[in-house]
A and B are shown apart, each in its own frame.
Chain A
Amino acid sequence: MMMALLRRLGQTAFVLFGISVLVFLVFFATPGADPTARIAGRNASPQTLEKVRAEYGLDRPLPVQYATMMKKLFITQDLASYADRGELVVPEIARAAPVTVSLVCGAAVIWVALSIAMGTIAAAMKGTWVDRGLMILGLIGISMPVFWLGQVANLITQSRYHDTWLFSWVPGLGYVPLTENPWGWFKALVIPWCVLAVMFIGIYSRVLRADLVALSGEDFMRTARAKGLSPSRILLRHGLRTSLITFVSLFGLDFAQLVGGGALLTEVVFGLPGVGRLTYQALTNLDLPLIMATVMYSAVFVVLANAVVDILYLFLDPRVRDAR
């Protein structure tokens, strides 16, 4: 067990290092243009360019540049945006993070609950029209671009049907901090939660159904039936519990990616000032330091979250616990 944890830790460190190198290379070593100009932003003066070159050590070899960059990101945390008048990047991300976490957590609750319900019901009623209907719904959910769905949701709840009883409670776009007004926080986020969850409900319910159906042919499911257990107990305690192993590993990956900035499109459409929208603003201003920082931080977050999932896995699956 200890060995497994240590090994996982080593792997995590390696992937972290690899990601930082990859992101660094993307920004600093893509053939084509000079990173100086990109960092300095549009229409930068020669003095600014000179300053950037000195600050990032861009006239020195790549490994030195890498070290400088990492130092500015994680140790001194004084990476500053040029496009945005010297705003420090790291605190900006720290301010945006709670918004993203609020958005993703709420969506996660919805998508886990609904997808487990849909997947299990579909598997239990395999071959019936309920099964087919649920799976087609899931497929449609997977097929919708999230930013478009967000716009349609806005159109319905903010404009077309806003005056009916159904949606009159929906506040205008934007975010209300949880600490300020929990009810307002909730109201502001319900629609974004649902929109973000739709695609994942589709994916997860389909994956879960396929898993459960595949499991139903397994020997241990036959044993459970031969034991005289009720069908619901067989499906839930034996089938679902075993499927949860895959489910949790998928969930960990997706959750981490979303918190790490994957919810960008939803945040943009609903005007939520999270990490994703920060990236989007940086994108429109061509604010390279900010994008570098968000990408790097999100990658770090994803890797750490993956490590957590793997440890969770050890608890969920007794076989893995002993295998390593």
Chain B
Amino acid sequence: MPAEAPPAPAAPLLVVRDLCVRVPSRGRMIPLVDRVSFTLGEQDILGLVGESGSGKSVTAMALMGLIDSPGVQITGSALFRGQELVGLPQKQLRRLRGREIAMIFQDPMTAFTPVYTIGWQIDEQIRAHERLSRKQARNRTVDLLAAMGVPDPAQTANRYPHQLSGGLRQRAMIAMALSCNPALLIADEPTTALDVTVQAQILELIRSLRSTYGSSVLLITHDMGVVAETCDTTLVLYSGRVAETGPTDALFAHPGHPYTAALLASIPPLEGPRPERLPAIAGAPPAPLERPEGCAFAPRCSYVHAPCLHAPPPPLVPTGRYASAPRRAEADTQAVPLPAPDNTPRPGNLSHGSPAVQARSEPASLRAAQFAACVLPAEGTPLPPRLKDTAPGPGTPDAIGHAPPPRPPSPSSTIGEPHL
């Protein structure tokens, strides 16, 4: 578990251990989030990836103390700067919210109260946490809007949410989140509702936050491309459980969990011949109520074998080549582009492009190795591709020297039939 990883030089900002969120349903407690653990360092960007319903947003809401449906049960621990968030009284949580931990939401269309101006709403947050006059608050609001790249900030502050475009609204949202200089910014799918070009701008903005504002970011997304471009560390959630976690580049280079591998395989390659058909993961993630007894991914997994179906969900185990080796070695050798993250128009801007980023990711690289809940077909052996004609994107892993023998069919006993 990441907990046993060598201690980081600086105390991490947020340490989450065995976080569980359960809701009652038909007399049973249904886990929406099941024993999720992760660590987020200062000025780190952690990506929380998963399909819809995998518990990413619930995790974030639980950290903020924003879940208040009747009967909900939150257990585990979440230490924010040494303060336990789980079970913290609402009154103290309120003091943290907005000031220490801020959140930006998926849909900027609906996330602002429609009857107040943008400026009023940002002023409100500032004045909720700091003793400032209206005028001082408004000045800071205008400065923030300007810093977020909003044109004519003083005017825009006086406009109503519906009068702004989606991109501007998301910038205003980020400005509001940053208005009290929070240590942790939780971004819940901040780009999903936006156009692709605006998406890139917003991601750029989020990336720049840590240098300009020194914030750590917990980025929730279902877009692997966004993760590759933005995050230092990645946590893949499946059906409320951690499937795999590790440094983004390592995880992308050598996915350990079949689910991660399948997710990556479904991204179209940026260069080289296009595959005739992109592989997709058949089926849908199970609803929390219908979660199977064994591994939740088993019904959709190409590598499923008998023990997967009944054994209790496997614990996280170190994986990849770096299970024991320090990551620095890998960082040096890694000279190739990552496996084709997707639809972003500017591949040159990947996180490795900037030396500043690389330098900053160092503490994370010392601390974190890659862990997965399942490594198939055999630990340390690269995965065979799921489908015959879908070789991973060009230049995927081979530069490192551990070129996987292309498509060796696994022993028949370990390969389940591809799920229909």
Q: Do chains A and B make direct contact within the complex (CB under 8 angstroms)?
A: yes
- A322-B162 in contact given A220-B114, A226-B97, A228-B94 (Cβ < 8 Å): yes
- Interface bin, chain A: 20 to 34
Is B96 in contact with A228, judged by CB distance below 8 angstroms?
Answer: yes
In the bound complex, residues from chain A placing their C-beta under 8 Å from that of B102 are 226
In the bound complex, residues from chain A placing their C-beta under 8 Å from that of B103 are 223, 226
Interface window among A152-160, A238-246, A253-261: A238-246
- A218 at the B interface (CB under 8 A): yes
- A227-B97 in contact given A222-B105, A319-B160, A322-B163 (Cβ < 8 Å): yes
Nearest-Cβ distance from residue B159 to partner chain A, whole angstroms? 9
Is A229 in contact with B128, judged by CB distance below 8 angstroms?
Answer: yes
Complex: how many Å from CA A220 to CA B107? 10
- A223-B105 in contact given A319-B160, A322-B163 (Cβ < 8 Å): yes
Is A228 in contact with B128, judged by CB distance below 8 angstroms?
Answer: yes
Is A220 in contact with B112, judged by CB distance below 8 angstroms?
Answer: yes
In the bound complex, residues from chain B placing their C-beta under 8 Å from that of A226 are 64, 66, 97-98, 102-103, 105
Is A219 in contact with B110, judged by CB distance below 8 angstroms?
Answer: yes
- Interface bin, chain B: 20 to 34
Complex: how many Å from CA A319 to CA B164? 12
Complex: how many Å from CA A230 to CA B97? 11
- A50 at the B interface (CB under 8 A): no
Nearest-Cβ distance from residue B95 to partner chain A, whole angstroms? 7
- A127 at the B interface (CB under 8 A): yes
Is A224 in contact with B113, judged by CB distance below 8 angstroms?
Answer: yes
Complex: how many Å from CA A319 to CA B113? 11
- B77 at the A interface (CB under 8 A): no
Report whether over half of chain A's contact residues are helix, strand or loop; otherwise say mixed: helix
In the bound complex, residues from chain A placing their C-beta under 8 Å from that of B330 are none
- B17 at the A interface (CB under 8 A): no
Complex: how many Å from CA A213 to CA B173? 24
Question: C-beta contact mask, B113-134 vs A, less than 8 Å → 1, else 0?
Answer: 1111000000011001100000
Is B94 in contact with A220, judged by CB distance below 8 angstroms?
Answer: no
- B111 at the A interface (CB under 8 A): yes
- A316 at the B interface (CB under 8 A): yes
Is B98 in contact with A228, judged by CB distance below 8 angstroms?
Answer: yes
- A318 at the B interface (CB under 8 A): yes
Nearest-Cβ distance from residue B172 to partner chain A, whole angstroms? 11
Complex: how many Å from CA A231 to CA B396? 51
In the bound complex, residues from chain B placing their C-beta under 8 Å from that of A229 are 94, 98, 124-125, 128
Is A242 in contact with B97, judged by CB distance below 8 angstroms?
Answer: no
In the bound complex, residues from chain B placing their C-beta under 8 Å from that of A238 are 113
Complex: how many Å from CA A175 to CA B96? 59
The residues in B between 381 and 413 inclusive whose CB is less than 8 angstroms from any CB of A are none
- A225 at the B interface (CB under 8 A): yes
Nearest-CB residue, chain A, relative to B186: A226
Is B111 in contact with A227, judged by CB distance below 8 angstroms?
Answer: no
Is B115 in contact with A127, judged by CB distance below 8 angstroms?
Answer: no
- A87 at the B interface (CB under 8 A): no
Is B110 in contact with A225, judged by CB distance below 8 angstroms?
Answer: no
Nearest-Cβ distance from residue B71 to partner chain A, whole angstroms? 11
Nearest-Cβ distance from residue B81 to partner chain A, whole angstroms? 16
- A55 at the B interface (CB under 8 A): no
Complex: how many Å from CA A223 to CA B174? 12
Q: Give the residue of B110, B114, B128 whose beta carbon is less than 8 angstroms from that of A227.
A: B128
Nearest-Cβ distance from residue B319 to partner chain A, whole angstroms? 35
Question: C-beta contact mask, A295-324 vs B, less than 8 Å → 1, else 0?
Answer: 000000000000000000000111100100
Is A242 in contact with B162, judged by CB distance below 8 angstroms?
Answer: no
In the bound complex, residues from chain B placing their C-beta under 8 Å from that of A219 are 105, 107, 110-111
Nearest-Cβ distance from residue B277 to partner chain A, whole angstroms? 37
In the bound complex, residues from chain B placing their C-beta under 8 Å from that of A218 are 110
Is B98 in contact with A227, judged by CB distance below 8 angstroms?
Answer: yes
Nearest-Cβ distance from residue B331 to partner chain A, whole angstroms? 35
Is A316 in contact with B162, judged by CB distance below 8 angstroms?
Answer: no
- B70 at the A interface (CB under 8 A): yes
Is B66 in contact with A222, judged by CB distance below 8 angstroms?
Answer: yes
- B176 at the A interface (CB under 8 A): yes
Is A242 in contact with B115, judged by CB distance below 8 angstroms?
Answer: yes
In the bound complex, residues from chain B placing their C-beta under 8 Å from that of A316 are 115
- A318-B160 in contact given A226-B64, A228-B125, A229-B128 (Cβ < 8 Å): yes
The residues in A between 176 and 231 inclusive whose CB is less than 8 angstroms from any CB of B are 218-220, 222-231
- B210 at the A interface (CB under 8 A): no
Complex: how many Å from CA A35 to CA B176? 69
In the bound complex, residues from chain B placing their C-beta under 8 Å from that of A227 are 97-98, 124-125, 128, 176
Q: Which residues of B contact A (CB under 8 A)?
A: 64, 66, 70, 90, 94-99, 102-103, 105, 107, 110-116, 124-125, 128-129, 160, 162-163, 173, 176
Given contacts A127-B70, A228-B94, A229-B98, 13 further A-B contacts (CB under 8 A): A220-B110, A220-B111, A225-B97, A226-B64, A226-B66, A226-B98, A228-B97, A228-B125, A228-B128, A229-B94, A230-B128, A233-B128, A242-B115
16 contacts between A and B (CB under 8 A): A127-B70, A219-B110, A220-B112, A223-B105, A226-B97, A226-B98, A226-B105, A227-B97, A227-B125, A228-B98, A228-B129, A229-B98, A238-B113, A241-B116, A242-B115, A322-B162
Which 5 A-B pairs have CB atoms at the shortest separation, nearest pair first?
A228-B98, A228-B97, A219-B110, A318-B160, A226-B103
